[in-house]
Structure 1
């Protein structure tokens, strides 16, 4: 796991340095929430926390790709809910992750960090990621496992200065695991019924170190 973390971190740094003239760098932090076998309804159940670096490469005023790596924590307990599944023991769990992924990002309005002509824009994004479990505890005795995930969501960016940008975003993470909450439903861990999700609400701030090269007008 340490080797994989080193490779991911090195890739993040090398890509950022190579692409810096059309890129911005920053940090993101906020709250996490979990949906799955234990919590099936509450979108903002038992908030945890998340934080990490974000790197964005801007092809033009509309289209970007980004790499985000965040440390996050989710937790939950059957004791918080009235519903009981017959044959399943009660469970309380705590999990911390390192999630790294790449996403494509589309701006609804023309936008570049530091360009005062384009002050703000809503955007959507989606991609693929991988989650490494750093710690996991479950009273049911089923630990969380490393897994792929599909992150997607929407947000709002605002120019705060010549090189500074900030904003807020909501991320949904559809996991390819049914062990995040330490519970496997009676029907088993089939692909169709994997239903563990964790979501982020985060604030971010990014900084543009270099001027952007000439913009491609295709999406203007």
Structure 2
């Protein structure tokens, strides 16, 4: 029920933006891998990655700032070997859970970027920050997503990006293990994280009222 409500809210957000847009809307797909950081994996990037697939909609305020909404489907997995040590855990343990995530983020391009211009604004590094919610297994978890990446446009309204995204959750239950309170750990390590690394393709939609190329 909650996942349906979140989907409807995201669609309403995208529709509201799109009806007022003027040649500023991007729509596309994201492909890559999702993985987890937590008690079973404290520092290894791309740990037990699972294939993920998602959709993305971006509203470009200008060539530097944009808002975007996205949804992604994948899995997160992890395992514990009893040869290592975790408090109160004496046997090997593993998990694999389905992930369905929704997020709204603000995006900033460090350089002028414009996929409708054939001569300039063809690449830029970028960063994102926003809010999100994920259904992982049978539970819903709020998170703070942020990412870094690089985007390139060959022109003709196409854009290809590579992105590394992190989701700071507010739960320590994704791996079904909650360690005793460890005062040596700072706040960012107390709870589990979910991460995405992959490729994003978007296409700049046409507006019914064509804009003179001089003003693009």
> How far apart in 2 are the matches of 1:12 and 1:82?
49
Partners of 2:37 and 2:77 lie apart in 1 by 10
Moved over 3 A (4+): 191-194, 211-214
Aligned partners of 1:65, 1:161: CA distance in 2, in Å? 21
CA shift for structure 1 position 36: 0.2
User: How far apart, in 1, do the equivalents of 2:105 and 2:177 lie?
Assistant: 29
Aligned residue in 1 for 2:142: 148
Superimposed CA distance per residue, residues 166-216 of structure 1 (whole angstroms, 9 cap, x where no aligned partner): 11111011111111111111229xx946320111111011111215869xx
Q: Deviations over 1:52-87 (max 9, x none)?
A: 1101111111111111110121101103x7422132
1:6 to partner: Cα distance: 4.4
Q: Which runs of 5+ in 1 are unaligned?
A: 137-143
Asked if residue 125 in structure 1 is aligned to residue 128 in structure 2, the reply is yes
Which structure 2 segments of 5+ residues have no match? none
Residue 24 (structure 1) aligns with: 26
Residue 88 in 1 paired to residue 89 in 2? Answer: yes
Determine whether 1:200 maps to 2:199.
no
Q: CA separation in 2, counterparts of 1:91 and 1:213?
A: 58
Q: CA RMSD in A?
A: 2.4
CA distance in 2, matches of 1:28, 1:166: 10
TM-score (norm 1): 0.83
1:101-116 superposed matches below 5 A: 101-116=103-118
Secondary structure at the aligned position of 1:3 is classed as helix
1:41 shift after superposition: 2.2
Aligned mate of 2:72, from 70, 73, 87: 70
Q: Which moved more, 1:53-62 or 1:12-21?
A: 12-21
Q: Compute the TM-score of the two structures, normalised by the length of structure 2.
A: 0.84
Equivalent residues, number? 203
- Higher alpha-carbon deviation: 109-118 or 147-156: 109-118
Separation in structure 2 between the aligned mates of residue 9 and residue 73 of structure 1, nearest angstrom: 21
